[in-house]
Each structure stands twice: as C-alpha cells, then as structure tokens.
A and B are shown apart, each in its own frame.
Chain A
Amino acid sequence: MNLQPATLQSIDEVITHYPADQKRSATLPLLHLIQEDIGYLPPETCEWVATKLGLQPINVLEVITFYPMFRQKPIGRRHIKVCRTLSCALVGGYKTCEQFEKEFNTHRGDISPDGEVTIDFVECLASCGTAPVVLIDDDLHEKVDCAKAKQLSDQIKAEAKKR
C-alpha cells in the first residue's frame, strides 16, 4: 500500500483515540484516511487495515461495503453528490442532478468521459432548509437549481482547463 508519510502519521495518531484493546474502532478513520490519500480503497486495503488493527480482512470488507461513502473503485477528479431525498426532491433535486449529468455528459455512478467528475445521488445531507443541496467533494452548495448547477459545472470545467 502506497500511502503518504502524512497519512501514515495520521493513521498512527488516530489509533490512539481508542483503548489499546479496541483498535478495531479505528477501522472507519483508517478507511477515510486511505481514501483521502489514494482517492478510493484499492483491493489491498482490507489486508492492510486488518494487519494494522489486528483484524481479519473480511472484517474490513464487511465495513467498506456497508458504508456508501467508501468506494472500491476510482472516481472522477471531483465527486458531485446530489441530495435525492424528499425535501430536496420537492424543490427540484432530480432536475439538479440531470443538469449535472447533462453538463458532464455522463450518468449517475459513472466517471464522466473527460474524467472530471463522478455524479452520485446521495440521501439527505441535513441541509433541507436550503434545498436542493449538492456536496462537491467536501463543500456543500445550497439552493442548487439548474442555473446554479450549470454555474458550478462551468467552474469545475474552467478549473480543469487551467490544469
């Protein structure tokens, strides 16, 4: 597993948050750290985390597949998560999602042809008062109607051009 030194350091630190005989608790934190570093959880993650925490690899796989935020495959450079749940849908969440799909010529769950984004529907993001909401990587965007979706897409495309 090819992790950056800073990640390895964070991993060792986060393990100390839990009692010495309860290292298993660090499973989710470790998976987050690895995913932040590599972008997804490559197949060797299970064995690596299991060894680190004194578990069996299946224990880790069971966890990875339970939590939707963990992914076992690479995604586009940006992750666009559109809230699908009722309050957002009531004010146009589905249209917002379609707008993003159109902008990047892709479908939910796929990497866009330009490799720039992966668009997903997610469940309620606890910001229903400013629906529809969209989480792009770590940042929450509120009241994302089609116009704002287009604007956000343009921004992403502009940043991509600069690279």
Chain B
Amino acid sequence: MIAPPKPDLVTVNIDGKEIAVPKGTNVIEAARLVNVDVPHYCYHPKLTIVGNCRMCLIEMGLPAVDPATKAPIIDPATGKQKINWIPRPQIGCGTNVSPGLHVKTTSPMVKEAREGVMEFLLINHPLDCPICDQAGECKLQEQSTGYGRGYSRFIEQKNVKPKRTQLGPRVTLDDERCILCSRCIRFSKEVAKDDVLGFVDRGSYSTLTCFPGKQLANNYSLNTVDICPVGALTSTDFRFKMRVWFLKQTNSIDPESSVGANTVVWSREGQIYRVTPRRNDEVNDTWMADSGRELFKAVNAPDRLATTASIDTLVAQAAALFKANSTPGAIAVVGSGRSSVEEQFLTKQLAAALNATASTHLVSRVGQGDKLLISADRNPNVRGALVTGLISALPSQKLTALAAAIDAGKIKVVVSVGEDLAAVGLTAAQLAKVSFVYLGTHVNPTSAAAQVVLPTLSVFEKNGTFINQQFRLQKFAKAVPGPSGATDDLIVLAKLVTAASARLSSAPLAAIPSDLGSLWKLLAAEVPVLGPITYANLPETGLLLDATPFVALPFVEGETLHFKPVAPAVAVTV
C-alpha cells in the first residue's frame, strides 16, 4: 500500500475548537473537520470559487500584532494573543486558512447574515416543495428551517421565469427554482468541457439557459442535477418517481471502465431507482458518467438468465462434463475482466483444478477513453486478474490461441465466465466443436449454445472488489437481492472448484470458501500485495496497491481524471 504525502498544516480556531488543517483549505472545509456545518450553495469543492450566494458568511478574526515590531499583542484579560475581529462578515468559501485564524459560525452577526440571505433566496422562489422533486435533498429547504423567517414579508409579485424546460435528453430545468449559484454552468465549462449553459439577462431577472439550438447532452449532464442545490435541475428519468427519503443507499463502483468511479446505488424493496456518484478525491471527485447511471436497468432486463433447476444439479452436470474430459489440457477457462477480484481468484483455482492453467484466457474490451471518467479499458478489473495471477499478460481482444487449440482438437470443454465467445473471434465451426459451461447474467449466443448454464449476479446484487487503473482496490456492496434462479458467482465458482477437484486423482483441495471473510484470508495468504487487507477493513474509497510488478505492461489507458499512464499508452485501433 502506498501512503499519501503529509500536507503542511496550519492551526486555526473554529467556534473555540482548535484544529490543524492543511494549508490552502478554506473555512468551509476546515469547519467540516471539526463537525461545524457552514451552509453554502455556490461553493462546490471541485469547482472554481465564485462566492456569489453569500450563504457561507462567517465572522473572522486574526491574531493581533504590533504593526511596527510584528510582536504579538497580548490581551491582558486572557493572557492570550488578542484577536482582531473583522467587523463585517466574510465568505467561508473564499477565505483560506492562515495561522491563528479565528472563525465564529454562530455569532449574532453570522446568524443575521444567513437569515437575510435565506429570506432573499426565498422571496422569488416558488415554495412548491410538496411537488418538488428535490424535496428531501434540497439545501434551500434544509436551511429554511434553520434560518428562514417562517413568514413572508414579501407581498410583491414574484418574478416569472420558464418552467419545465428540457435542457437535454436527461435534464429538466425549472428556472423559477434556480438560485443562480452557477454551479451547473461551472461544471459544464470546467469539468465536462461542454460550455453550453449560461445566464441570460441581468440582476434578479438572470435566467439559466442552454444555448438555443444546443443541448446539455454530454455524457456527464446528470452531474448538474447532483450538484444543483435546489430542485431547479432534475433528472428527467428520476423525476417524481420516488421520494429520496424512502431510498436505501449502497456504496458501489461504476463497472463501465477501469476508472472505477465510486457510486451510490439508491434502492427500495429490491428495486434500484438511481445511481449517483460518491466522492473520491483520488478517483472521480464527485462525478460520474451518465452512461454508468443507466447500467442498473439491465438488472431487470427480460433477457436475464435464470434457472429453475437447483444449483447443485447444474454443478453436477458441469462436473460430469469435466469428468468426461479428464485428459490434461482438454478444458479451457475464459475468465473475465468484469469479475471481482474474489471471483477471479476462484476462477484461477478452478483453472488449476481443471488442469487448465495453461489455457486460461481473458477477453480485453477496449474503447475510446473520454479523458474524464471513462477509460479506454472497458473492463473494470483487468488489474484484478493480474494481481490474483489469473493471467500474467494483458488480455487480447480476440482469443486466437484458444481458437487454434480448438481447431487442433485439443480443447473439448470451455468454461466461460460471462464472455460470449462468438464475439471474441471464435467461428461457428469452432464453437460447434466444443462443449460450454457458461456462468453469466444475460442471454447471449454462448449461453444459448452452452451445455450447462449457471445464472449468476450483476454487480448490484453482490459484494466484491475491483482493482482500477491506478491499482486502487475498491469495494462494492450488494444493493438489491438477485433474481430467483440466479446464484452468487462466488458460490457457483466455489462449487465448481470443489467439483473439479474431486475429479482429479490428486488430493482434493480443501473446501473452497464462498464467503468474503474466509475468502479474503485465503487471498491474503496467496497474494502478497493484498497482505493485511480484508473486505471488511477496506476503506470505502479504496486502497492503492503496489503496482511495481506490473509497470512494464503496456496498458491501454490514456489520461483521465486523476490518472496519468506510467508509460504512454499504446495506440489501439478500435
């Protein structure tokens, strides 16, 4: 594991609590570290600071020094250095810590300032919370209970602005709710690099707009919905489907590519409603791609594999196939870069038990990287296959070696973990020459041709870990139960390993565990870089592993957010 460097620290005093924080931290973040909440709207830790909402006003003071000698001035009453309090409130977002900075966040001056800002924000706001999609997540609603006046002194006509504008395929805008914080504009410009949003008109009539004739259609558009502090921007898909406070949140990982964006899966009663990004400053900041938010829809797809047979019956069928082809080298295993580290470890055990270590394959998936949060490697976990030793060289897109071995008549059975072999270069003739054991979630030509189909779970239905392009080990957790007729991949793999071992004349492997706790003990013992880690103690934002053994490999990824390839990526033609 790699420890991050120690930052330069500055000691500040917030509401009487002393704390050392890294230089360059602003007051909002420093306060967060002592559990003091400084309400804010326009500030976002991953966007430039504009200081326009004025909600984060705080009272601030600096230690007094003699202007001539620079010697500290001591307050005789306390015996401590005097603090010169600035008579007007300052913005917490735009104020960086300096040594000895004193901050008050609850003084009458601050309270009054916040109440003033809240009242101003509400006078032109529709106050239609009961029908607003943001209810429960609205920062305005949250603060108005704390700082609102509770009655309206505003008897004038409210400003009228456009309602329900479709900004793009996925985002809807209600301008009357917009508090003009400009977060969405800054996000589009600074992060998504798709500068299509802006304000038109001026003053209180300023109105958020997408340039006429353009759309907020980039693959990151839904992040604007996440960061809109009010209900002005909403997801067209999620709009009014479910009140958020009914939803359960489960931490997960976006499996779209080797970036491994951290996510939260929002579900209720076994049903997933949405996926949103989860902050990880080393990986995805607070963002994720729109495409990754759609993946959960495959969970309930009509082509989902399921079986009415018992899993043991199916495993017995597979065991029979294995037994019938016991010539060493007659069985090949096609593992998956989409499997978890744990599954890959068991896949490796399975290959060993089947005497197939020499004919173990992995399929690579390469696309265009978007330089942000989707990398060129569309497998989330090729690094896992390397670290667990399932493979020792980078995978290729076409399994030519396997095809040749089938042509040569050596291979009789192929165990495929979720891979459609027709898609990776095997001809119909080749496919017809072998028998398949297929583990997977959805129907494809290989599952259709397989002698034994073992339905398994999607990433949303199980626990596990992936190793992303940075060699960061990250975990995902089960958000919803799998469908009936599908079994956790680990159980299926463990049963297959046991069945395969039994077939061998040599001493059968000790019972292979399928629970993560026991499995991690085995993993740690066999894979040194995983050393002291367990699934349970792995931090939610993951751990960086030592990548030295693999630096020489020509990985396909180019630069993305928080990732620079060690060596220039090899050009790939897609």
Q: Do chains A and B touch in the complex (CB under 8 A)?
A: yes
Chain B residues whose CB sits within 8 angstroms of the CB of A58 once the complex forms: 195-198, 209-211, 214
Chain B residues whose CB sits within 8 angstroms of the CB of A57 once the complex forms: 211, 214
B186-214 at interface with A (beta carbon < 8 Å): 195-202, 209-212, 214
B366-387 at interface with A (beta carbon < 8 Å): none
Chain B residues whose CB sits within 8 angstroms of the CB of A43 once the complex forms: 212
A30 CB–B CB distance under 8 Å: no
A65 CB–B CB distance under 8 Å: yes
- Given A56-B211, A58-B211, A61-B209, the answer on whether A66 and B197 have CB atoms closer than 8 Å is no
A83 CB–B CB distance under 8 Å: no
- A62 with B195: CB separation less than 8 A: no
- Given A46-B211, A57-B211, the answer on whether A62 and B196 have CB atoms closer than 8 Å is no
Size category, B interface: 10 to 19
Q: Which residue of B lies closest to A46 (CB)?
A: B211
Q: How far in angstroms is the closest Cβ of chain B from A66?
A: 5
Contact with A66, one of B202, B209, B210, B211 (Cβ below 8 angstroms): B202
A59 CB–B CB distance under 8 Å: yes
- A59 with B198: CB separation less than 8 A: yes
Q: How far in angstroms is the closest Cβ of chain B from A19?
A: 21
| Distance of A65 Cα from B208 Cα, bound (Å) | 12
Q: Scoring B residues 471 to 493 as 1 if CB is less than 8 Å from chain A, else 0, what string do you get?
A: 00000000000000000000000
B195, B197, B200, B211 — which one has the most chain A CB atoms within 10 A of its CB? B211
Q: How far in angstroms is the closest Cβ of chain A from B175?
A: 14
Chain A residues whose CB sits within 8 angstroms of the CB of B210 once the complex forms: 58
- B199 with A62: CB separation less than 8 A: yes
Chain B residues whose CB sits within 8 angstroms of the CB of A59 once the complex forms: 195, 198
Q: How far in angstroms is the closest Cβ of chain A from B180?
A: 13
- B202 with A56: CB separation less than 8 A: no
A99-126 at interface with B (beta carbon < 8 Å): none
Q: Which residue of B lies closest to A66 (CB)?
A: B202
- A61 with B200: CB separation less than 8 A: yes
Main secondary structure of the interface of A (DSSP, over half): helix
Q: How far in angstroms is the closest Cβ of chain A from B448?
A: 48
Interface size of A by CB at 8 A reads 10
A15-72 at interface with B (beta carbon < 8 Å): 43, 46, 56-59, 61-62, 65-66
| Distance of A56 Cα from B209 Cα, bound (Å) | 14
- A56 with B199: CB separation less than 8 A: no
- B200 with A56: CB separation less than 8 A: no
| Distance of A43 Cα from B214 Cα, bound (Å) | 13
Q: How far in angstroms is the closest Cβ of chain B from A23?
A: 16
| Distance of A62 Cα from B200 Cα, bound (Å) | 5
Chain A residues whose CB sits within 8 angstroms of the CB of B199 once the complex forms: 62
- A65 with B195: CB separation less than 8 A: no
Q: Which residue of A lies closest to B200 (CB)?
A: A65
- B202 with A65: CB separation less than 8 A: yes
| Distance of A91 Cα from B548 Cα, bound (Å) | 83
Q: Which residue of B lies closest to A65 (CB)?
A: B200
| Distance of A66 Cα from B209 Cα, bound (Å) | 13
Q: Scoring B residues 201 to 242 as 1 if CB is less than 8 Å from chain A, else 0, what string do you get?
A: 110000001111010000000000000000000000000000
Q: Which residue of A lies closest to B196 (CB)?
A: A58
Q: How far in angstroms is the closest Cβ of chain A from B192?
A: 12
Chain A residues whose CB sits within 8 angstroms of the CB of B202 once the complex forms: 65-66
| Distance of A46 Cα from B198 Cα, bound (Å) | 13
Q: How far in angstroms is the closest Cβ of chain A from B224?
A: 14
Q: How far in angstroms is the closest Cβ of chain B from A3?
A: 21
Q: Which residue of A lies closest to B194 (CB)?
A: A56
Q: How far in angstroms is the closest Cβ of chain A from B197?
A: 7
| Distance of A41 Cα from B531 Cα, bound (Å) | 67
Q: Scoring B residues 49 to 66 as 1 if CB is less than 8 Å from chain A, else 0, what string do you get?
A: 000000000000000000
Q: Which residue of A lies closest to B197 (CB)?
A: A58
Chain B residues whose CB sits within 8 angstroms of the CB of A46 once the complex forms: 211
Q: How far in angstroms is the closest Cβ of chain A from B300?
A: 38
Chain B residues whose CB sits within 8 angstroms of the CB of A66 once the complex forms: 201-202
Q: Which residue of B lies closest to A56 (CB)?
A: B195
Q: How far in angstroms is the closest Cβ of chain B from A63?
A: 9
Q: How far in angstroms is the closest Cβ of chain B from A98?
A: 25
| Distance of A58 Cα from B196 Cα, bound (Å) | 6
Q: How far in angstroms is the closest Cβ of chain A from B52?
A: 15
| Distance of A13 Cα from B475 Cα, bound (Å) | 59
A59, A61, A62 — which one has the most chain B CB atoms within 10 A of its CB? A62
Q: How far in angstroms is the closest Cβ of chain B from A141?
A: 27
- Given A56-B195, A56-B196, the answer on whether A61 and B211 have CB atoms closer than 8 Å is yes
| Distance of A31 Cα from B198 Cα, bound (Å) | 18
A residues at B contact (CB < 8 Å) = 43, 46, 56-59, 61-62, 65-66
Besides A43-B212, A62-B199, 10 other CB < 8 A contacts?
A46-B211, A56-B195, A58-B198, A59-B195, A59-B198, A61-B198, A61-B209, A61-B211, A61-B212, A62-B200
B residues at A contact (CB < 8 Å) = 195-202, 209-212, 214
Q: Enumerate the 5 nearest inter-chain pairs by beta-carbon distance, A residue then B residue, closest first.
A: A65-B200, A58-B211, A56-B195, A58-B198, A62-B198
Task: Sample 23 A-B pairs with CB under 8 A, ordered by A number.
Answer: A43-B212, A56-B195, A56-B196, A56-B211, A57-B211, A57-B214, A58-B195, A58-B197, A58-B198, A58-B209, A58-B210, A58-B211, A59-B195, A61-B198, A61-B209, A61-B211, A62-B198, A62-B200, A65-B200, A65-B201, A65-B202, A66-B201, A66-B202
